[in-house]
Amino acid sequence: MSDVLYQGDIVLTEEQAEELIGENFEREKRQATTKTNSKWSDGLYYSFRRDARNPKMKEIAKKGAKLWHDNTCIDMIEDATAPERVEFFEGNGCYSWVGNLHKVQELSLGGQGCHYVGTAAHELAHTLGLFHVQSRYDRDNYVTLNKGNIPPKQLNTDFNLETQRTSNNYGVPYDYGSLMHYSAYAFAKDERIPTLIPKDENYVDTMGSTMLSFYDILLMNKHYGCLDKCKSASSAKCKMGGYPNPRDCSKCICPDGYGGRLCDEKPSGCGLVLTANSRVQTLEHYFGPSGKKSDDFTKCHFWIKADRGRKVEIRLKRALSESQSNSGCAFAGVEIKPQKDQLLTGYRFCKEEGGKDKVFVSKTDTVPVIFYRSIGMVTATLEYRMSMF
């Protein structure tokens, strides 16, 4: 199956293949397909093939479906009798079709490498109509392609670009932390050398995420017109760029690192609000049980706050997780958000050599610092103070 997959995990119909990689490379691929007949108008129905007996695969598939169900207006319904549905099975790898084929269509979560909630959510995103982020027409503004480390076959198919004329990104910015973005070492001939080099080098280990980002959810909600569900005056008046959840308009979908009823508070639970002043202070935190794996991510949120109108300076002394790999900080790490656009994923670190002694000066007076994990423990030490500039 790997010989006929497009971008590593996408199965194409003949029509889609002609549009995406047809003659003269007049491609029609998009981060979200604009073909209205490829959407699931009454929700996405799914079932499991009769020979799919692995309870772990079924559990992962259901959890991946629930992520999209809970954060969009798209109903994800298990129904083995629906004439148009997704049928999960364990094939040779993780892959899916793009959009609704208006029949029973397969989605493979085959093998241990596919048994992650993020993988199921990623493949379901394809089924719902999304393509990969790094195939956007504006990709080259954000990453440099290391063509010498990519096999010719993959270079000609897996790293194709859209055109601005045919793309529809719904105004959503390029997000290195998207669930739909390749890792820095995707398809590498030499796995010690990256194939995708971010223009902002601090994002190198953010790419390859296995978590839904704020912009992933926003893109899907725009693609399916879900934002129109919450236009009444009684809908939540969300702050910090958040918006009412189309599943419950009285609640907000908040950017990562923000919580509370209106997205203007630190998320509840683990973590503290720390006050930066002129003195250098230290945040050292150990998060998660060593050696333990869970399907779902847990997070610990810190806010580092300066005086109103002032900025925060952070020096990362150390960040290390037990699950680091060439896929970046996909399963555990620390995320620092000094950027102006707080809707974007922040910088993620999990490797001894990746973030040591990096210095960040925030664009605002509040910096969320997020410890996250699903595999193993993550530790980090950073110094902070109110910036003198």
Helix (H/G/I), strand (E/B), else coil: 359: strand
Residue 11: which pLDDT band, with cuts at 50, 70 and 90?
Answer: low
Residues 74-127 pLDDT 10s: 999 999 999 999 999 999 899 999 899 999 999 999 977 899 999 999 999 999
List the structure tokens of 108. Answer: 């493979």
pLDDT of residue 115: 92
List the structure tokens of 79. Answer: 């129904």
Residues 287-337 pLDDT 10s: 999 989 999 999 999 999 999 999 999 999 999 998 877 678 999 999 999
Among the residue ranges 3-7, 20-24, 41-45, 346-350, the one predicted with the least confidence is 20-24
Identify which of 248, 98, 118, 256 has the alpha carbon closest to the alpha carbon of residue 180: 118
Residue 10: which pLDDT band, with cuts at 50, 70 and 90?
Answer: low
pLDDT of residue 181: 96
Number of neighbours of residue 57 by Cβ within 10 angstroms: 22
Highest mean pLDDT among 4-8, 36-40, 344-348: 344-348
- Residue at token pair 């932390």: 177
Round to whole Å and give the CA distance between 309 and 271.
23
pLDDT of residue 164: 73
CB 177 within 8 Å of CB 214: no
CA angle 231, 235, 241 (to 5 degrees): 85
Is the confidence at residue 228, as pLDDT, over 70? yes
Residue 141: which pLDDT band, with cuts at 50, 70 and 90?
Answer: very high
CB 250 within 8 Å of CB 235: yes
% of the chain residues with pLDDT over 70: 89
Q: List strand residue ranges (DSSP E) for the chain, in order.
A: 10-11, 44-48, 76-78, 85-89, 94-97, 104-109, 143-145, 196-198, 243-245, 248-253, 273-275, 281-287, 293-305, 312-321, 332-336, 347-349, 358-361, 366-375, 378-386
Q: Which H helix or E strand runs over 210?
A: none
Domain annotation for the chain: domains and CATH numbers: 2-128 (3.40.390.10), 273-386 (2.60.120.290)
Is 181 annotated to bind a ligand? Reply is no
Residues 15-56 pLDDT 10s: 544 444 333 222 333 466 656 678 999 999 999 999 998 999
Is 132 annotated to bind a ligand? Reply is yes
Classify strands 358-361 and 44-48 as parallel, antiparallel or unpaired: unpaired
Positive or negative: CA dihedral 16, 186, 182, 148 = negative
Residue 157: which pLDDT band, with cuts at 50, 70 and 90?
Answer: confident
Round to whole Å and give the CA distance between 264 and 249.
17
List the structure tokens of 380. Answer: 């980090």
Is 223 annotated to bind a ligand? Reply is no
Classify strands 143-145 and 196-198 as parallel, antiparallel or unpaired: antiparallel
Q: What is the pLDDT averaged over residues 4-19?
A: 52
The CA-to-CA distance between both ends of the chain, in Å, stands at 56
pLDDT of residue 190: 95
Identify which of 348, 375, 353 has the alpha carbon closest to the alpha carbon of residue 202: 348
Round to whole Å and give the CA distance between 142 and 205.
14
Round to whole Å and give the CA distance between 194 and 247.
39
Residues marked active site are found at 123
% of the chain residues with pLDDT over 90: 79
Residue 162: which pLDDT band, with cuts at 50, 70 and 90?
Answer: confident
CA 190 vs. chain centroid, Å, equals: 25
Round to whole Å and give the CA distance between 74 and 143.
32
Residue 9: which pLDDT band, with cuts at 50, 70 and 90?
Answer: low
Q: Which residues of 221-240 are buried (b: 16+ CB within 10 A; e: fewer)?
A: bbbbebeebbeeeebbebeb
**Helix 214-223 to helix 55-71 angle, to the nearest 10 degrees?**
70
